[in-house]
Amino acid sequence: MDGISTIIAGMRSTSVFSALLLLALAFTLVSRQPQTDPRLKKAARYADRNGWTQVHLEGKPGDIGFQHGYLLSAEIKDAFRAVSTELMHDEKKNWEYFRQTAQEVWWPHIEQEYREEMTGIAEGLKARDVKLDVWDVVALNGWLEISYYDKWRDKGARHGTADHCSAFAATGSYSRDGRVVIGHNNWTSYSSGERWNIVFDIVPAQGSRMIMDGMPGLIHSGDDFGVNAAGIAITETTISGFSGYDPNGIPEFVRARKAMQYAASIDDFARIMKEGNNGGYANNWLVADRKNNEIASLELGLKNVILQRTKDGFFVGSNFPADPKLTKEETEFDPADKSKSENARHARWLALMEQNKGRIDVAAGQRFLADHYDTYEGKVEPSERSLCGHIDVSPRGMGTWQAPYAPAGAVQNKVTDAAGAQKMSFTAALGHACGTSYRAAEHLAKHPEFAWFKPILHDMDARPWTRFSAR
């Protein structure tokens, strides 16, 4: 309004005709000034910290969605470009196919709360002139489970279902203070992974407040690390070589978000994840309840669901299918091949848990996620077999990334404990926890077979550990 005051002051020394022209100009300027949407009143975006962007979202589902789309519009546009490029390349389908799947397969099984939130994201994007609609948003949210649907739809044809992540949870005599500790690193392509840098602090109108890592545009964490105000901390790793999908079930990204928001106990979490289970993005979920220092492992297949829990012990995840029946009936995985990344990392986790019994805390968890020991080779060597995954330097490749030297591996890391969870807080580090930075141009020069990544592949710096809390 300062511009209007200046114009009105100038009217006092001009002709009536000129004054009217100036007044008309003033109203034109006001009409073009961006108006603050009331849905943004409780939202905030904070200054970036070591590569992470933290946002506070609050209100009804549509409001939370609008805030998300508006505050992260540029990041969503960029992430969408990277994810859609990867999906179309990997699945050999055009983008309209993914939009159609979102509308016809997933949307009918999404409850109203999350329909409103994703519609709100699209409205927030529209307010910032980003030309993505609700079907683009839904397809983006389902990108981690589309290969499971395609594998079912194409009757077993080869599709690279995702193999992501290393994780642990410990409590009782295994942790330093006898309380829960939980940690996770996300494995994916470096192009999508270096964009997995949002810290979401969400206060929904219903359910619990939650703080979780995530990718812009997703209503769920995606790599699924988060803490809620009811005392539940959650993470997961995918089940390798999994087959099975129910198109009439509830999308995994909906159940994962709902569990993060509404679970107040391990039983709550298991119930929410099992209800309407469609087999998409099949995971071994690790859960910690800071209220009673209990941890659990929920191995969630489509046919086989195994829940284990303890107040004195640990659970680990490395894309290793633990239950023999699930492994035999629902995967193509060979648990006897010790050269496989999943088996080598599983063995390393078991050794680390025992070697550090009674001393596991946040600092230990951070060291675990930076570990380079290869149990198959019996030496320290970063590769697809180390907990800090470096597929880009491995001559073997793994899981989704069948080709050796693929630009993929561990892309970010998170750890928290009971004290941190009580404060709605966790520590996080972007890039490799070991401190090694990735340089895209150098890698593509050595491995031109991945040149198709060039438009979306950036450098990925290793960043220091940083603490984030609900604000």
pLDDT in tens, 49-70: 999 999 999 999 999 999 999 9
Residue spans per domain, the chain: 2-32, 38-469
- pLDDT higher than 90, residue 150: yes
Burial readout 388-424 (b: 16 or more C-beta within 10 A, e: otherwise) = bbbbbbbebbbbbbeebbbbbbbbbbbbbbbebbeeb
Count the neighbouring beta carbons within 10 Å of the beta carbon of residue 75: 17
pLDDT in tens, 86-138: 999 999 999 999 999 999 999 999 999 999 999 999 999 999 999 999 999 99
Q: Are 52 and 198 in contact (CB under 8 A)?
A: yes
Q: Considering the chain, what percentage of its residues have pLDDT values greater than 90?
A: 88
- pLDDT higher than 50, residue 153: yes
Q: Given pLDDT bands bounded at 50, 70 and 90, which one contains residue 32?
A: very low
- CA dist 65 and 62 (Å) reads 5
**pLDDT of amino acid 398:** 78
Residue 299 — φ and ψ, nearest 5°?
Answer: -90, 105
Q: Are 244 and 289 in contact (CB under 8 A)?
A: no
- CA dist 256 and 276 (Å) reads 12
pLDDT in tens, 375-419: 999 999 999 999 999 999 999 877 777 789 999 999 999 999 999
**pLDDT of amino acid 52:** 98
Q: Are 310 and 294 in contact (CB under 8 A)?
A: yes
- CA dist 224 and 258 (Å) reads 12
Radius of gyration of the chain (CA): 24
**pLDDT of amino acid 2:** 39
pLDDT in tens, 170-200: 999 999 999 999 999 999 999 999 999 999 9
- pLDDT higher than 70, residue 7: no
Rounded to the nearest integer, the mean pLDDT of the chain is 92
pLDDT in tens, 306-349: 999 999 999 999 999 999 999 999 999 999 999 999 999 999 99
- Which positions ≥6 away from 154 have C-beta within 8 Å? none
- CA dist 176 and 417 (Å) reads 10
- pLDDT higher than 50, residue 216: yes
Please compute the mean of the pLDDT values over residues 136-144 and round it to a whole number.
97
Please compute the mean of the pLDDT values over residues 447-455 and round it to a whole number.
97
pLDDT in tens, 411-446: 999 999 999 999 999 999 999 999 999 999 999 999
**pLDDT of amino acid 162:** 61
Distances (CA, A) of 46 to 41, 67, 123, 471: 15, 13, 22, 10
- CA dist 417 and 366 (Å) reads 12
**pLDDT of amino acid 159:** 55
Kindly indicate whether the domain formed by 38-469 is annotated with CATH number 3.40.50.300: no
Distances (CA, A) of 107 to 55, 138, 148, 271: 26, 8, 17, 22
**pLDDT of amino acid 4:** 36
- pLDDT higher than 80, residue 448: yes
pLDDT in tens, 264-298: 999 999 999 999 999 999 999 999 999 999 999 99
Q: Which of 200, 210, 198, 215 is nearest to 164 (CA)?
A: 215
